[in-house]
């Protein structure tokens, strides 16, 4: 499977998002990862609908929205209207996951579900056929720049194995502590969409950093 890189703008310079989005696009990233935090589901706040709406027009890449919020259902329409291409919500959040997936798809977007490091992969198995993507958190959600949790590798393999058993070409995305060192491990385990924030945005040469994760 081809490896896709999703640039997490949580590590970008918010003083100049237009330039940062251009940099990500010109460096060969495949999509933009947009982390939404509500200060409740995770102990941090980030940005939301008005920011997505403003920056959408400065970038041609698809927007991969990661909702780290307690009540995802309430905001699907707003993020769809603002220009999201994919919406991923957390299995640990409130609401019926099947209904949330249906809602995302009814807006013509792709749907993903995410699991925190301690949530077993098996809980996602019954939903695989309905999903476009599963996001395996490889750090505790809430902050950029943390260290990769190696125990998550087994979860990635278990999910890839189960997706194959069910005959699904599922995207498996990983998020947290992904860079040059961790990329070969997560890819070998079965991940094909790599989110990267600090590693690529803080790199001296973003294009080389992005290319290093595909090698
Ligand atoms: C963390 C976010 C990540 C974060 C990753 O809760 O979901 O997308 O930006 O940042 P790095 O790549 O720096 O670990
Ligand atoms: Zn994220």
Q: Give the domains, in start order, of the chain with CATH numbers.
A: 4-214 (3.20.20.70)
Chain CA centroid to CA 24, Å: 15
Residue 58 pLDDT = 95
Q: pLDDT band at 74, cuts 50/70/90? A: very high
110-119 pLDDT, tens digit each: 999 999 999 9
Q: Give percent above pLDDT 90 in the chain.
A: 100
Pocket test for ligand 1, best of 11, 197, 210 (most atoms within 8 A of CB): 197
Exactly one of 30, 64, 171, 175 is catalytic; which is it?
175
- pLDDT tens-digit map of 87-105: 999 999 999 999 999 999 9
Confidence of residue 124 (pLDDT cuts 50, 70, 90): very high
Query: Ligand 1 pocket, 179 CB below 6 A?
Result: no
The arithmetic mean of pLDDT across residues 129-153, rounded, is 98
CB 193 within 8 A of CB 174: yes
Residue with tokens 């087994």: 154
Which pLDDT band, with edges at 50, 70 and 90, does 156 fall under? very high
Mean model confidence pLDDT for the chain: 98
Which of 111, 203, 127, 194 lies closest to 159, judged by CA?
127
Q: What is the distance between the alpha carbons of residues 66 and 35, in angstroms, rounded to a whole number?
A: 5
* Substitution site in 47, 143, 182, 210 for ligand 1 pocket (most atoms within 8 Å of beta carbon): 143
Predicted local confidence at residue 28, as pLDDT? 98
Does the beta carbon of 142 sit less than 6 angstroms from any atom of ligand 1? yes
For 175-215, the pLDDT digits (tens) are 999 999 999 999 999 999 999 999 999 999 999 999 999 99
Q: Is the pTM of this model over 0.85?
A: yes
Measured CA angle at 17 (ends 13, 135), to 5 deg: 85
* Across 166-172, average pLDDT: 98
């Amino acid at each position: 499977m081809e490896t896709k890189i999703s640039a997490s703008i949580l590590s970008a310079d918010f003083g100049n998002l237009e330039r940062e989005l251009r940099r990500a696009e010109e460096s060969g990233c495949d999509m933009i990862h947009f982390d939404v935090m509500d200060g409740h589901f995770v102990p941090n706040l980030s940005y939301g609908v008005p920011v997505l709406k403003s920056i959408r027009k400065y970038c041609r890449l698809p927007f991969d929205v990661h909702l780290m919020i307690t009540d995802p259902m309430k905001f699907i329409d707003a993020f769809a209207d603002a220009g999201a291409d994919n919406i991923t919500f957390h299995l640990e959040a409130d609401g019926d996951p099947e209904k949330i997936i249906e809602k995302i798809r009814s807006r013509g977007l792709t749907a993903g579900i995410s699991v925190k490091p301690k949530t077993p992969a098996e809980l996602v198995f019954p939903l695989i056929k309905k999903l476009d993507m599963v996001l395996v958190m490889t750090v505790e959600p809430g902050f950029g720049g943390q260290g990769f949790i190696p125990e998550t590798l087994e979860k990635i393999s278990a999910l890839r194995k189960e997706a194959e058993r069910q005959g699904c070409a599922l995207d498996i995305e990983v998020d947290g502590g992904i860079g040059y060192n961790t990329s070969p491990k997560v890819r070998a385990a079965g991940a094909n969409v790599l989110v990267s924030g600090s590693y690529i945005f803080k790199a001296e040469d973003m294009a080389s950093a992005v290319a290093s994760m595909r090698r």
